[in-house]
Amino acid sequence: MNILNIMGKVKEMQSKLKEAQDELKNITATAEAGAGMVKATVNGKKQVIKIEVDNDIVKPEDKEVMQDLIVAAINKAIEEVDEKAAAHMQKITGGIMPDIPGLDFSKFGL
């Protein structure tokens, strides 16, 4: 195998990984706590997409705003921890992984 063939395979793999990651937003899971009084729905990209709170534990007029704020806070925390984890992995793997333009090893958790 020559280097051009290898690079072509790497680009093809990267494209397939990107496509698979883009499709993760369509996978969802819902879990509950407090005997169903609070429910959270998350997509495959680790983003909270919906919070449901039972009327018995909150004033109905505050419910929708509270649910939106909870979603926003959780998603912000996830983004920040992803950035910190990426920086940590870069520090750990710096100099080990080759710097190939267009190849993003963060998709592999590196």
- CATH code for position 45: 3.30.1310
* Count of structural domains within the chain: 1
Q: What is the reported pLDDT for 89? A: 74
Q: Look up residue 45 and give its DSSP letter.
A: T
Please state, rounded to an integer, the average pLDDT across all residues of the chain.
Answer: 82
Alpha helices in the chain (DSSP H): 3-23, 60-93
| pTM tops 0.85, yes or no | no
77 is in which domain, residue-wise?
Answer: 3-108
- Dihedral of the CA atoms 99, 100, 104, 109 (nearest 10)? -50
Task: Tell me the per-residue pLDDT of 39-76, one tens digit each, with 9 for 90 and over.
Answer: 999 988 888 999 999 989 888 898 899 999 999 989 89
**Least-confidence region, from 5-9, 31-35, 65-69:** 5-9
